[in-house]
Amino acid sequence: MTVDTQISIGNLRCKNPVWVAAGTFLYGREYGRRLPLEELGAICTKGTSLEPWDGVQGIRIAETPAGMLNAIGLQNWGIDAYLERNVAWLREQNATIVVNIVGKTVDEYAAVAAKLSPRDADAIEVNISCPNVSEGGVFFGTDLRMTEKVVDAVRKATSLPVIVKLAPNTHGLAEFAKAAEAYGADALSVANCIPGMAIDIRRRKAVMGTPAGSGGLSGPAVKPIILKMVWDVTAAVRIPVIGVGGVVSWQDAVEYLMAGASAVQVGSALFRNPNAPWDVAQGLEQFMRDEGVSSIGELIGAARP
């Protein structure tokens, strides 16, 4: 049985709905030595700023019983280095490129977006939800007016599809989703890591290296929480939603799709299984054959009343 796994996000066309999440895949070179990047729906690059960022000093990663904490602080080489070192290689791999962008001010977000042409990226993911930076990041995703300003500025700076990555640690997430839609977002990523922490009981100190001792929790522990957010947000907006949180297996992907997501992102699962996104994509396709589902669209929202 032939199945159609293609999806559309605005003007972005993807081979399948399985993407890799920003910050877990860098720019794909290491993984590209193992498996074909063109077989993925899209690659969300490492969060990229206008100028290089150093990131968090100290411990950045810690395992938890059902996931992991991270506090990288969006360390990256800046947009110019991305353009000089990575675009040509990614294009050679026939990868679908979603550049995740970050900034400390509204103007910085707009400036990064303005540097990206259709030659450099297929879409932009606007990260307004990182919990591990002292400036920017989640500040923009938990203040409704700042969300509007950032999305508006990025929308005016680019013709590329704009995907806004929302923060999970805010009240009234649906209102932020509707604001992003109103100011020009083509899609929404729901959501970023959930703030959490761990204590080193021997040192009697927080494990993570951030000033607050906290990090972003990801992995299987967050999936039921984010799945509910996806369910709620898809009911509030008309633009596509991408489910991000705890996707380890193809079954997880199917749950997100049936809740209303148009795509999913695989993140921390990569650290345990570098083949995870490919495994999810293949498992999803086989599930469609087994269930007699000819098009991915038949799964999207299938569990909704």
The CA R_g of the chain, rounded to the nearest whole Å, is 18
Q: Judge whether 152 and 127 are in contact, CB under 8 Å.
A: no
Q: 283 is written with which tokens?
A: 């498992």
Q: How far apart are CA 189 and CA 163, in angstroms?
A: 7
CA atoms within 13 A on the CB side of 256: 33
Catalytic one of 14, 44, 130, 193: 130
Determine the 3-state secondary structure of 247 from DSSP: coil
Catalytic site includes residue 130: yes
Q: Judge whether 1 and 287 are in contact, CB under 8 Å.
A: no
The 8-class DSSP code of residue 193 comes to: P
Residue 34: how many other CB atoms lie within 10 Å = 10
Catalytic residues: 130
